[in-house]
A = this chain, B = another copy of it.
């Protein structure tokens, strides 16, 4: 009866209990949990067919699309490891990371393929898969993502893969401010706990409609890629962070929750259309990364009606580690005072997840891990 801790269980649960609920919205496209689960399963089966097996590393460089979400589940449920890449990096940086990560395969969005074209012959990859984008044309020798999925039968049934909760789920590279980027080894267990903390501190509910303003490559969207599925909520994808697109989605999709760095909060605060849109729905918004100024929180709350939640973390801690806990007594304070309190970094998370990681800091392609996964 002992079962490992993995966020992948939540996909199986959502497909079982919410098959016809909208799982993912991406522009005009919508997928129910059954459809989304099937696409992830077909990706897994096609990857197996292509030789990807337990412990293999697959790099993924995609914006916040349904393809990116499919990769998290489709790659990882094989026991393989996803390496999410920042598509804003230079060719030189990507060359270092891809080769260092030991990736056998790369899945890349056609819009962001240019740096890969430049470094393609210096990469140790065995295969590249491209997500085609209208109006883009890559010169890469690559397989088309949708064509790749057809390798698997439409009603594919995956073999059960035994997961060890202390093995890698994702390998997330840091920004490399001080030296080369480090590959942070996040396990099934650490991803699970971070997502559980995300659910608790963002107060995720079954009917939440979550907008992926935060890059999913960034510490797995702070855990949002797993937590929304856990609750059976709806993921709304966003290819480009632009306040006009965001406000459109607030209106049309009735967004209830989003996350973003203070720069994204600032972008919303400075959009003259924002007040009318956000005041109608009062979404919750998590912010983290650089410290949000009290003045910014004040504007977001009082002018836009956003319900701000201040968290803090780093890739090495899965990422959440601190949060600013709201207490009933703060409700009697002035809006200014409330914003000043919310600007504090706060205290350790309730779930204490950061103490429950397999690997706390970047060890990238360590010899230990290579021996274990190859």
Q: Taking beta carbons and an 8 Å cutoff, which residues of A are in contact with B?
A: 1-3, 5, 9-10, 13, 17, 166, 196, 199-200, 203, 206-207, 230-232, 325-328, 347-348, 350-352, 355-360
Whether A350 contacts B231 in the complex (CB less than 8 A), given A206-B325, A327-B206, comes out as yes
| Pairs A-B, 3 closest by C-beta atoms | A3-B355, A1-B360, A207-B328
Whether A230 contacts B2 in the complex (CB less than 8 A), given A9-B355, A199-B200, A206-B327, comes out as no
Excluding A1-B357, A2-B356, A196-B196, 7 further A-B contacts by CB distance (< 8 Å) are A2-B166, A3-B352, A5-B356, A9-B355, A10-B350, A13-B348, A13-B352
Q: Nearest-CB distance from A14 to chain B (Å)?
A: 10
Q: Nearest-CB distance from A16 to chain B (Å)?
A: 8
CB neighbours (8 Å) of A348 from chain B are 13, 17
Contact for A9 among B231, B325, B352, CB less than 8 A: B352
Contact for A2 among B13, B196, B232, B357, CB less than 8 A: B357
Dominant secondary structure of chain A at its interface with chain B: loop
CB neighbours (8 Å) of A326 from chain B are 206
CB neighbours (8 Å) of A328 from chain B are 206-207
The answer to whether A196 touches B356, judged by C-beta atoms less than 8 angstroms apart, is no
The CA-CA distance from A358 to B2 in the complex, in Å, is 6
Q: Nearest-CB distance from A6 to chain B (Å)?
A: 10
The CA-CA distance from A203 to B199 in the complex, in Å, is 11
Question: Taking each of A5, A328, A348, A358, which has the highest tally of chain B beta carbons within 10 Å of its own beta carbon?
Answer: A5
CB neighbours (8 Å) of A327 from chain B are 206-207
Across the two chains, which residue of chain B brings its CB closest to A348?
B13
The CA-CA distance from A359 to B3 in the complex, in Å, is 11
Q: Nearest-CB distance from A121 to chain B (Å)?
A: 39
The CA-CA distance from A10 to B355 in the complex, in Å, is 12
The CA-CA distance from A240 to B9 in the complex, in Å, is 41
The answer to whether B206 touches A347, judged by C-beta atoms less than 8 angstroms apart, is no
The CA-CA distance from A328 to B351 in the complex, in Å, is 27
The CA-CA distance from A165 to B186 in the complex, in Å, is 20
The answer to whether A351 touches B196, judged by C-beta atoms less than 8 angstroms apart, is yes
The CA-CA distance from A17 to B323 in the complex, in Å, is 12
The CA-CA distance from A316 to B206 in the complex, in Å, is 27
Contact for A356 among B3, B199, B200, B325, CB less than 8 A: B3
Across the two chains, which residue of chain B brings its CB closest to A166?
B2
CB neighbours (8 Å) of A166 from chain B are 2
CB neighbours (8 Å) of A231 from chain B are 350
* Pairs A–B under 8 Å by Cβ, sample size 22: A1-B355, A1-B357, A2-B356, A2-B358, A3-B355, A5-B356, A9-B352, A10-B352, A13-B348, A13-B350, A13-B352, A17-B347, A196-B351, A199-B200, A199-B350, A200-B200, A203-B203, A206-B327, A207-B327, A207-B328, A230-B350, A230-B351
The CA-CA distance from A359 to B206 in the complex, in Å, is 30
Q: Nearest-CB distance from A165 to chain B (Å)?
A: 9
